[in-house]
């Protein structure tokens, strides 16, 4: 653990603040053998988009490991160590075969589970291939994403299926993918932070597409953060005329956030519904993170295209300075944000809850237990909480009393959801 930087209470005090403490490595480092890396290696994590696996193998890096991912001619997906076990040539130059992937250098052929099917240059009676395996990880495909389990084989969990991915009247599909040059935790923290919607997403905002949920709301929402049976949620509650609008966002550890549809629907005067978007974040290594965007589109509606505003570095630098987006805010917190330099405030309760949940999970793994979110048996379809809810509730007599009413209304909505009383939608 590092010591915290001094709390500066004097003007022109920069001289006293020059040390940069190191990062919280327990929460942020994901390479093999690290506490957080072991935590991640207890879950199924998305590693690639199904559509990206064509006739060439893809070189990728996940949790600090260099790997190759491919789909062979029989349709099976494989994820294995990048370097061939013969003499180390990268399998990104390999040949995708009907069954498995063949190294380009001397033709060794590997099945998706790492078994060596052929060693063409060896004598016919060689038993090398029967004695040796290449390092491989189990994969599965779900709704257009390839997931992998990179942990100990005897701890492989059931694959979680959430209600939002299984709605009969919705089409669920993998959207685009993008990369952020920073640690995974600050990327996930962004999703537990409704306060940034009100500030970051309204700066320089002539573009109504970027206004998202903040738009014309001058009033501060009420924010509440709580644990759910499957993860965490925040409630973002506002007055809208004679109604109270409760916007709930889910975190499903370790990788998925779900967002309500209100960013779009609010402009159309319709606040209904369950999420239309999710983001999976997978650590590439300690200082790079891959996002997989996920869409849920109701039958008959046109599917969104491309990434939302501000998710990449592709815009000109000056434009990003004048109208920064999520990419700029998160990646500029340093490659790994230094918690010992932060001054957390009341809007950071979700961040604290998230860090505590992750730390608890990391320590559970160290004790040989399962972290929250790991499923030993297939539980069927899991209920999640993300949604927009509108409640009829005319304003109270005073602004103060109305704030209380907003909080009470939000809590009631949350309680009904947690008790399973609310109808799935």
Binding site for ligand FES (CB under 6 A): 84, 86-87, 89, 103, 105-108
Shortest distance in whole angstroms from residue 29 CB to Fe ion: 25
Query: Which of the choices ligand FES, Fe ion, none does residue 205 contact, using the CB cut-off of 5 to 8 A by kind?
Result: none
Is-contact 294 197, C-beta < 8 A?
no
230 contact choice in Fe ion, ligand FES, none (CB below 5 to 8 Å, kind-dependent) = none
The answer to whether 63 and 37 are in contact (CB under 8 A) is yes
Residue in the block written with tokens 């998202």:
212
Residue found under tokens 């306060």: 195
- Nearer to Fe ion by Cβ, of 189 and 326: the residue is 326
Closest contact distance (angstroms) between CB of 55 and ligand FES is: 19
Residues facing 67 on adjacent strands: 60, 81
Among positions 315-334, residues that touch Fe ion (CB under 5 A) are: 326
With CA atoms as reference, report the closest residue to 189 among 40, 384, 337, 288: 337
Is 236 near Fe ion (CB under 5 A)? no
Distance CA 209, CA 216 (A): 13
CB of residue 172 vs Fe ion: minimum separation in angstroms?
22
> Closest CB to ligand FES among 36 and 103?
103
Comparison of 118 and 176: residue with beta carbon closer to ligand FES: 118
326 binds, among Fe ion, ligand FES, none (CB under 5 to 8 A by kind): Fe ion
In the complex with ligand FES, the residue whose CB is nearer, 123 or 300, is 123
Distance CA 147, CA 166 (A): 17
Least Å distance, CB 101 to ligand FES, is: 11
The interface with Fe ion within residues 337-396 (CB under 5 A) comprises none
Query: What residue number has its CB nearest to Fe ion?
Result: 326
Shortest spacing between CB 108 and ligand FES, in angstroms = 4
The nearer residue to ligand FES, 84 or 246, going by C-beta atoms, is 84
Q: What is the DSSP string of 332-392?
A: TT-SS--GGG----GGGHHHHHHHHHHHHHHHHHHTTPPPTT-BSS--SEEP---EEEEEE
193 interacts with, out of ligand FES, Fe ion, none, CB within 5 to 8 A per kind: none
Residue 87 binds which one of ligand FES, Fe ion, none, with CB within 5 to 8 A depending on kind? ligand FES
Q: How far is the CB of 132 from ligand FES (least distance, A)?
A: 12
Round to whole Å and give the CA distance between 131 and 177: 39
Dihedral angle over CA of 263, 265, 269, 272, nearest 10: -110
Give the number of other CB atoms < 10 A from CB of residue 199. 11
Task: List, edge to edge, every strand of the sheet that includes 145-149.
Answer: 44-49, 145-149, 139-142
Nearer to ligand FES, 103 or 386 (CB): 103
User: Dihedral angle at the C-alpha atoms of 201, 228, 377, 113, nearest 10 degrees?
Assistant: 20
Nearer to Fe ion, 111 or 326 (CB): 326
- Residue 108, binding choice from Fe ion, ligand FES, none, Cβ under 5 to 8 Å by partner class: ligand FES
Structure tokens at 112: 């998706």
Residue 276 vs 326, nearer CB to Fe ion: 326
Terminal alpha carbon distance of the chain: 45
Question: Site residues (CB under 5 A) for Fe ion?
Answer: 326
């Amino acid at each position: 653990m590092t010591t915290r930087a001094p709390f500066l209470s004097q003007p022109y005090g920069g001289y006293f603040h020059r040390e940069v403490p190191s990062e919280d490595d327990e929460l942020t480092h994901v390479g093999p053998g690290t506490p957080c890396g072991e935590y991640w290696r207890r879950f199924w994590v998305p590693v690639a988009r199904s559509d990206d696996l064509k006739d060439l193998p893809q070189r990728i890096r996940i949790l600090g490991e260099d790997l190759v991912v491919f789909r062979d001619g029989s349709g099976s997906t494989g994820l294995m160590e990048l370097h061939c076990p013969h003499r180390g040539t990268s399998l990104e130059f390999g040949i995708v075969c009907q069954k498995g992937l063949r190294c380009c250098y001397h033709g060794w052929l590997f099945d998706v589970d790492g078994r060596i099917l052929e060693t063409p240059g060896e004598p016919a009676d060689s038993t090398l291939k029967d004695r040796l395996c290449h390092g491989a990880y189990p994969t599965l495909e779900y709704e257009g994403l390839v997931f992998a389990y990179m942990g100990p084989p005897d701890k492989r969990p059931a694959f979680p299926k959430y209600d939002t991915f299984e709605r009969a009247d919705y089409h669920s599909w993998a959207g685009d993918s993008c990369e952020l040059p920073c640690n995974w935790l600050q990327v996930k923290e962004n999703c537990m932070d409704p306060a940034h919607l009100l500030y970051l997403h309204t700066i320089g905002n002539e573009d109504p597409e970027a206004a998202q949920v903040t738009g014309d709301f001058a009033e501060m929402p009420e924010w509440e953060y709580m644990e759910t049976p499957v993860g965490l949620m925040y409630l973002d509650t506002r007055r809208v005329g004679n109604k109270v609008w409760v916007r709930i966002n889910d975190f499903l550890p370790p990788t998925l956030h779900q967002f309500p549809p209100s960013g779009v629907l609010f402009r159309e005067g319709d606040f209904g519904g369950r999420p239309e978007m999710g983001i999976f974040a997978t650590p590439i290594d300690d200082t790079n993170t891959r996002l997989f965007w996920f869409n849920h589109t109701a039958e008959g509606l046109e599917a969104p295209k491309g990434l939302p505003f501000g998710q990449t570095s592709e815009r000109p630098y000056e434009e990003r300075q004048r109208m920064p987006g999520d990419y700029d805010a998160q990646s500029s917190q340093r490659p790994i944000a230094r918690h010992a330099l932060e001054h957390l405030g009341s809007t950071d309760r979700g961040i604290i809850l998230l860090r505590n949940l992750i730390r608890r999970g990391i320590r559970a793994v160290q004790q040989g237990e399962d972290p929250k979110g790991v499923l030993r048996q297939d539980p069927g379809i899991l209920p999640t909480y993300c949604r927009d809810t509108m409640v009829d509730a005319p304003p109270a007599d005073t602004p103060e009393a109305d704030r209380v009413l907003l909080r009470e209304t939000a809590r009631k909505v949350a309680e009904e959801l947690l008790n399973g009383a609310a109808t799935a939608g």
